[in-house]
Amino acid sequence: MPSASLLPFFIFLAIVESLAFGIGMSLLIDYWEAGKKDQFAFLAIVWLLISWWPHDNLHRVIDESNYVHLLFIEYGFHVTLIIAGFVLARYVIKEWAKK
């Protein structure tokens, strides 16, 4: 359990992550059709917003002394987040080149 002085920082982080997850799910549901135009960029944005929730919660439920499970989580999330960043960088560069 964190100390009382650290607890507000954990609470704030949980609030920000919850908002990001909610916005990401809202985008996914409400803008699915519009997102098909630039599908990879759309999915990258959604993944960047929603991936924190399952990532954090998987860390909470696995035995972190099992390094195989830990590697699956780390690669499954960190590598895909890096790929999402590359996708968005490519999208932005293409858009800038149009101007």
Please report the sign of the dihedral spanned by the C-alpha atoms of residue 14, residue 16, residue 20, residue 23: positive
Cβ 48 vs Cβ 63: under 8 Å: no
Which residues contact residue 24 at a Cβ distance below 8 angstroms, ignoring those fewer than 6 apart?
45, 46, 47, 48, 49, 50
pLDDT, mean of residues 85-96: 95
Q: φ, ψ for residue 36 (rounded to 5)?
A: -65, -25
Mean local confidence (pLDDT), 58-77 = 91
Given pLDDT bands bounded at 50, 70 and 90, which one contains residue 42? Answer: very high
- Mean per-residue pLDDT for 31-40? 92
The pTM of the full predicted model, rounded to 2 decimals, is: 0.85
Separate counts of helices (H) and strands (E) for the chain = 6, 0
Average pLDDT over residues 5-30: 95
